[in-house]
Amino acid sequence: MSIEVVFWIAASLSLLLISWIILCRIRCGKSQGEKVPLWERIFLPAGQKILALITKAGRKPDRGLYPIFVRMMGKTEGTRQYEDFQSRRISTLLVFLLAFLVLLMAGTYADAFSEKTDQLDLTRGDNGSAVKVEKAVLTVWNEGGSISKKVTIRIPAKEMTREQADLLLKEALEKLLLEMDGKTVRGKVTLPTAYGQVKIKYLSLSPELIRSDGQLLKEPGTERRELYLRAVLEVEGYTEKTVLHLTQVGFSDLSDEERIDLLAKQIEDGRYLEEDRVNIPERTPEGEVMAVSPALDPHPEKVFLVLLLLPFLWIYQEREARKLWKERDEKTLLRFPEFVGELIILARAGLSLPLSMIRLGEDYRKRREKGEKIDLLYEEVARIGEEISEGISFREAVREMGERTAIPKLRQLCHILIQNERKSNVYLLERLTELSDEAWDERKKRVRELSETADTRLVFPLVLMMAVVLMVVLAPSLISLQ
């Protein structure tokens, strides 16, 4: 099978897969409910369609692809949440399959169409143009038939003539003299190394003052210094030489900022270091008074770094706080059905609601003294018992607990307790029983969702393993095709 055939197969499969995914999305229509990511809105309908085709609505469970699907994906209760979960897993596999086909197309495109040229262009370009590279097939015919081999032909540009070289050298020399000759320099000289195709090299004729790369060897003195450099211009083996004349400024020609920078550099480089001490002169070469004094370094960059980190620290703390509040709510909701059950048992035993709260709080404190972990819900219950003991009314203590927690189910319980306190509701046990049943149902639902979330984390490792298997299986085939 040729590379071209592989490319067209991958292209056809990609086109069919994309068309089918778009068709499933159009038939699905607008989705209701919460917002979902873009890739999920596109690929999820296709995943639901594949799941429906595999399972066939539960018919013929021992035939077709359904047993294989159950062994690969696992099977739990046939709930809507489980079907959505499996549909998302299948849609993820579709994404990786489409990505694999696209990468296969990209990898085979160059080899599939590199030989699709009508004729070769073997003409050499003008001087200065880039080297052309042509891929061709060399075929030799003889009595036994023909044999072919791929070849790569490098086609360099035409060589330069003397007239062309002289013209380029003349133009480059004019630019160099205009830019550098007679220039007054203060620090390191930036020497041009090329003008177009013309390369330039330098040789210092004042080696005690300047190097060939333009680095000055002496700092500005009391008088100006004359510097000389020889420049050699070269293009395609043709050369031209010239001498550049530069002038280094004296100390008096420097600005105030440049002079103090020079003096500071001399001090830091140890210019005034003697055997016993650093002896800094009292005056500059120009006769200006010079002195040094202690300096306090407030490290402003550290203060700026701390100020820069404050927004990130605030965002991190905000995320951690939200995470803690979410964990608190999760633990409270999981513990809530047991608390309502204990409250119902005490109420049926004849205890009033305030005494029931005090009893539950005291039992929790005893468990805490024995080493039991902190329970956020029972911490609130124990606080209600303490507030009642201090003289706060039961109604006020329960209302404050609902405001502190801000959990819907706990607020509903507080509302039931307050209504019973106000109106002496004879149906208290029935309402608490209904609330307990609802809480147990929600707890079961939440536990099921957490278990499905744990299974979702295994999708990426499974897909990664599938990709590795595909690479191991297809690599020998692709290598043999080349």
DSSP string for residues in 213-272:
TS-BSS---SS-EEEEEEEEEEETTEEEEEEEEEEE--GGGS-HHHHHHHHHHHHHTTTT
- Residue 127's nearest CA partner among 234, 199, 200, 235 is 235
Residues paired with residue 244 on neighbouring β-strands, in sequence order: 229
Residue 434 three-state SS:
helix
CA 9 to chain centre: 34
pLDDT in the model for residue 382: 86
In the DSSP assignment, the letter for residue 125 is P
pLDDT in the model for residue 200: 93
Torsion of CA 90, 96, 99, 100, to 10 degrees: -120
pLDDT in the model for residue 70: 52
Who contacts 198 (Cβ-Cβ below 8 Å, separation ≥6)? Answer: 168, 169, 171, 172, 233, 234, 235
Please say whether the beta carbons of 133 and 154 come within 8 A. yes
**pLDDT tens track, the chain, 482 positions:** 567 788 888 888 888 888 888 888 887 765 544 455 666 678 778 877 877 776 664 444 455 555 555 555 555 444 455 566 677 777 777 888 888 888 888 777 766 665 444 566 778 777 767 777 877 777 777 777 777 788 888 878 777 788 888 898 999 999 999 988 888 887 788 899 999 889 999 999 988 888 888 888 888 877 888 889 999 999 888 899 999 998 888 877 777 777 777 777 777 777 777 777 877 777 777 677 777 777 555 555 665 666 677 677 667 767 776 777 777 777 777 788 888 888 888 888 888 888 888 888 888 888 888 888 777 788 888 888 888 888 888 888 888 888 777 778 888 888 888 877 666 556 777 888 888 888 888 888 887 877 777 666 677 777 888 888 888 878 777 777 76
Please say whether the beta carbons of 336 and 377 come within 8 A. yes
Beta strands in 143-224 (DSSP E): 145-155, 184-185, 194-195, 198-204
Alpha-carbon gap, residue 95 to 124, rounded angstroms: 48
Rounded to the nearest 10 degrees, the angle between the axes of helix 353-369 and helix 300-348 is 120
Residues paired with residue 147 on neighbouring β-strands, in sequence order: 140
Residue 72 three-state SS:
helix
Residues paired with residue 135 on neighbouring β-strands, in sequence order: 152
Tokens of 3: 């590379």
pLDDT in the model for residue 57: 45
Please say whether the beta carbons of 413 and 340 come within 8 A. yes
Alpha-carbon gap, residue 214 to 205, rounded angstroms: 12
Who contacts 205 (Cβ-Cβ below 8 Å, separation ≥6)? Answer: 228, 229, 230, 243
Q: Which H/E stretch holds residue 132?
A: strand 132-142
Residues paired with residue 96 on neighbouring β-strands, in sequence order: none
pLDDT in the model for residue 410: 82
- Residue 50's nearest CA partner among 97, 11, 9, 10 is 97
Alpha-carbon gap, residue 13 to 10, rounded angstroms: 5
Please say whether the beta carbons of 202 and 209 come within 8 A. no
Per DSSP, helices labelled H in 288-375 are: 300-348, 353-369
Tokens of 437: 């049943």
